[in-house]
Amino acid sequence: MSDFERGSARSIPQTADMSIDAGLRAFMLGVYNKMALGLLLSAALAYATSSIPAITSLLYVTTETGRLAGFTMLGQIVRFAPLAMVLVVMFTARNMTAKQSGIYYWTLVTAIGAGLGIWLLAYTGASVFMTFLITATSFGALSLVGYTTKKNLTGMGSFLIMGVWGLIIASLVNMFMNLPALYWIINALGVLIFSGLIAYDTQRLKMTYYDVKDHGESMAVATNMGALSLYLDFINLFQFLMAFLGVRRE
């Protein structure tokens, strides 16, 4: 897994014509397809957890009108399980096999998707859908920048990753302090940071391809972990944008 972790600096191959490399295009298409399937699964789970009363009641406390009012104990576990999974794998799993990385990808996607029902309970469906479209459009543009730029984004990526840790710490602190000003600052910085990470992770995946293109097992791991990186960037950008674009349910 070490080859695919953020922050692993590698230079852009000087002789690689990335715009016409069929192998690279096939690799990136595989990453995007797996990410898209992950988003579809997440959307289905979000709909199920917010629309099927028997499931909703296991995770959330809702008002008579169906608006989110809080979390059950199981809901709190589902809420924080993805962060715990990311941290555990980040510090313990250094050399995943293709099978292990695939299981990890779908398990984490499932855990995140199960917790996304909060957005459909807290905000109107129309605003959630519109924010999703804006996120998808922004993701496409930013990923294209990362794919086509000739500038090495490694330095920017290292700075952005530090910013992610800052966001996590600030979010946990604000859960207890509940400061409105800090809430908006966190969301504004979150939009900027994950916008930058989309471009950075796209370029990083290109560099990873040239490192592992002759190794089938490593290619499979790179596809799984690459899809996960872009999936997490997309989901986080969507959630931070919801703070600005979402219309709360009455």
What's the pLDDT score for residue 64?
80
Q: Which of 5-9, 90-94, 207-211 has the lowest mean pLDDT?
A: 5-9
In whole angstroms, how far apart are CA 239 and each of 115, 116, 147, 194? 12, 9, 24, 11
Question: What's the whole-number average pLDDT of the chain?
Answer: 87
What's the pLDDT score for residue 12?
43
Q: Are 117 and 52 spatial neighbours (Cβ–Cβ below 8 Å)?
A: no
Instruction: Report residue 8's pLDDT band, with 50, 70 and 90 as the boundaries.
Output: very low
Instruction: Report residue 7's pLDDT band, with 50, 70 and 90 as the boundaries.
Output: very low
What's the pLDDT score for residue 92?
64
11 secondary structure, DSSP code: P
**Mean local confidence (pLDDT), 202-212:** 91
Q: How far apart are CA 118 and CA 33, in angstroms?
A: 26
Decide if pLDDT at 149 tops 80: yes
- pLDDT tens-place string over residues 34-59: 999 999 999 999 999 999 999 999 99
Q: Which residues contact 87 (CB under 8 A, 6 or more apart)?
A: none
What's the pLDDT score for residue 194?
97
Percent of the chain with pLDDT over 70: 91
**Mean local confidence (pLDDT), 146-168:** 91
Decide if pLDDT at 15 tops 70: no
**Mean local confidence (pLDDT), 208-234:** 90
